[in-house]
Amino acid sequence: MNTYYKFAPNVFLAKCEEMHKKGEEILVTTKYGKENESIVFNLIFEKDGFYYYSIVRADGFNVQEWAKQRAERRHEWAASSERKSKQYFDKSNKDRDFLSLGEPIKVGHHSERRHRKAIDDAWNNMGKSVEFIDKANEHERVAKYWEERANTINLSMPESIDFYKHKLEQAKEYHEGVKSGKYPREHAYTLTYAKKAVNEAQKNYELAKKLWGNGNENQ
So what's the pLDDT on residue 211?
A: 97
**Residues contacting 153, CB < 8 A, separation 6+:** 159, 160, 163
Residue 182 DSSP label: S
CA 10, 14, 18 angle in degrees (round to 5)?
165
**Residues contacting 205, CB < 8 A, separation 6+:** 161, 164, 165, 167, 168
Kindly report the average pLDDT of the chain as a whole number: 89
Residue 60's SS3 state is: coil
Q: What is the pTM of this model?
A: 0.68
Residue 164 DSSP label: H
Q: What are 103-136's pLDDT values in tens digits?
A: 665 556 555 677 667 778 888 988 999 999 999 9
So what's the pLDDT on residue 219?
A: 45
List beta partners, residue 54: 13
Confidence band, pLDDT 50/70/90 cuts, at residue 215: low
The stretch 197-206 carries a mean pLDDT of 96
